[in-house]
Each structure stands twice: as structure tokens, then as C-alpha cells.
Amino acid sequence: MLNKIAEGKTKIVYSSTSSDEVFLKFKDDITALDGEKHNVLPGKGVINAKVSAKIFSLLEEKDIPTHFVKLVDDTTMKVKKLKMIPVEVVCRNVAAGHLVKNYPFFRKGDKLKEPLIEFFLKDDLHHDPLLSEEHLKIFGLMEEKEIENVKRITRRVNEVLREFMEKLGLQLVDFKLEFGRDKEGKLRVGDELNIDCMRLWDLKTGESLDKDVYRKGESLEKVLQTYTKVYKLIVGGEI
Ligand code: 5GP
């Protein structure tokens, strides 16, 4: 790892000796409410790095283009350098979170007829506003063809993740992806893929096993217990 290029709420980006690759180091920080709520949860960096590495490997095995290269230590992934698109792509299978809060059509837990894909601008100051496909094109965020490509890849990620989680006894309620373009301009899934960016409910009991436990104000001990439980299911073994 060479120089720090950027630091976000939960990760640090470092340059590498290759101009095409960077390192992503996961911090122990946990945040919610557009960064207004913040704590440090010792061990979370390891959990999120290893869960991300596992899920990215799974997607790569299914020929889904991602930025993942390899896990280099307990908290660091080597990834392909991407020009990130500042858009959060959310895919929902079951109604929860903002879908229930902002619209009158569903109650929490209602299954959607088909997966719903939404776009949000990545901008905490403006509280990540919803973007239509017209917004994406007119704001210069994505071209028509890229939008179609992003939706196709997101649906595929959903199929792979849903099946994987179901086998572990978890229901994949929703998740968030971020995309970037590699040096050839090819779209790849970037950022992270772990318990921070998806809702997982116990298939039998409906218990939340994700960051909602933190959002709802449970103790940090309970939050770490939840993250550890999901880590053991997804990655296997001790941390
Ligand atoms: P909602 O829009 O209901 O708040 O979130 C939908 C899904 O996207 C949830 O799985 C949530 O964790 C994820 N998500 C939405 N916004 C963010 C974000 O800013 N950061 C992360 N890590 N996940 C997000």
C-alpha cells in the first residue's frame, strides 16, 4: 500500500504499485442516517472485508464483472481501479426501509411481484435523492445503454445472492450496489458488498440480521453479535 487516495465513512483507498489497481481498507466505523449516527465497532472492518471478498468471489464465479482482485489481509481488498459513478443502485425483493416510509403501496414484509430497481444520487448533503432514468441521462451520470447494462447486472446479482442467502437460511430483502467504469470503459460492480449494504432477514423468524439492528438503536454489543452471526454463516469459521 502506498499513498492514501481517499477516505470515506467506512473505507480508505490506497494507491498500489500498479496504476490499474488500488487497495480498499475497511475501517471499524459504522454509520447511519447519512453519517449523522456514528460509532466504532472493533472487529467490523475484518467482518466487512471478508464478507465482501466472499460475495465478490461468488459474483466473479458467475461471470458478473466486479472490481475484486483478492483479499490481501484481514481488512484489505485489492481491487481494479474504477471511475465510480456517484449513484446507488438499490434492488428490492421485499418491502422495507424507504419503500415503506415514502410510499403508501406496501407494508413492511410484503413480497414484490418482481425485483424493483431504483437509483439514488450518492449525496449525503441532499439525502441521496431518488433519480429517474431521465435524471441519469440528463445529469450525465449514465448513458441509456449503461442504464440497461446496470439493470441487467443488478438483476443477475440479485438472482445469485438470493439463492446463496436462501441456502444459508437468510432472506435477501434488498441491497445496494455501486458501479464504476474500468480503464476500458467496461462497467463493473465496485465498492463493497456486505452486511452494511443489504437487508437480510432470518427465513424462519424474520429477525433482522443486518445494519437495521444499528439503525434501530440496539446496543453496539448486539450489533457486533449480529454481524458476527452473519459472518459465520457467509464466510464460515471464526473471525
Ligand atoms: P433504503 O432505501 O430502504 O434505506 O435501503 C435499501 C437498501 O440499500 C438497504 O439494504 C440499505 O442497506 C442499502 N442502502 C441504501 N442506502 C445506502 C447507503 O448510503 N449506504 C449503504 N451501505 N447502504 C445503503
pLDDT band at 33 (very low <50, low <70, confident <90, very high): confident
Residue nearest to atom 21 of ligand 1 (CA): 197
Phi, psi dihedral angles at 44 (to 5 degrees): -65, -35
Evaluate: CB of 175 within 6 angstroms of ligand 1.
Answer: yes
Q: Which residues contact 101 (CB under 8 A, 6 or more apart)?
A: none
d(CA 29, CA 185): 32
Ligand 1 nearest atom to the CA of residue 120, by list position: 16
* Contact in structure between 195 and 228 (CB atoms under 8 Å): no
Q: What is the pLDDT of residue 238?
A: 83
What pLDDT, on the 0 to 100 scale, is given for residue 34?
A: 80
- CA of residue 69 to ligand 1 center, whole Å: 24
pLDDT tens digit sequence for 181-225: 999 999 999 999 999 999 999 999 999 999 999 999 999 999 999
Name, in order, each residue with C-beta under 8 angstroms of 3's C-beta and a sequence gap of 6 or more: 14, 15
What length does the chain have? 239
Q: Determine the distance separating the centroid of ligand 1 and the alpha carbon of 95, expressed in angstroms.
A: 13
pLDDT tens column, 111-148: 999 999 999 999 989 999 999 999 999 999 999 999 99
Q: Is the pTM of this model over 0.85?
A: yes
Q: Would you say residue 73 has pLDDT above 90? A: yes
Domains of the chain by range and CATH?
4-80 (3.30.200.20), 83-234 (3.30.470.20)
Confidence of residue 97 (pLDDT cuts 50, 70, 90): very high
Element containing residue 181 per DSSP (H, E): strand 179-181
Say how many CA atoms lie within 13 Å of 208 toward its Cβ: 21
Output the pLDDT for position 200: 98
How far apart, in whole angstroms, are the C-alpha atoms of residue 165 and residue 142?
30
**Backbone phi, psi, residue 95, to 5°:** -70, 130
- CB 174 near ligand 1, within 6 Å: yes
97 within ligand 1 shell (Cβ under 6 A): yes
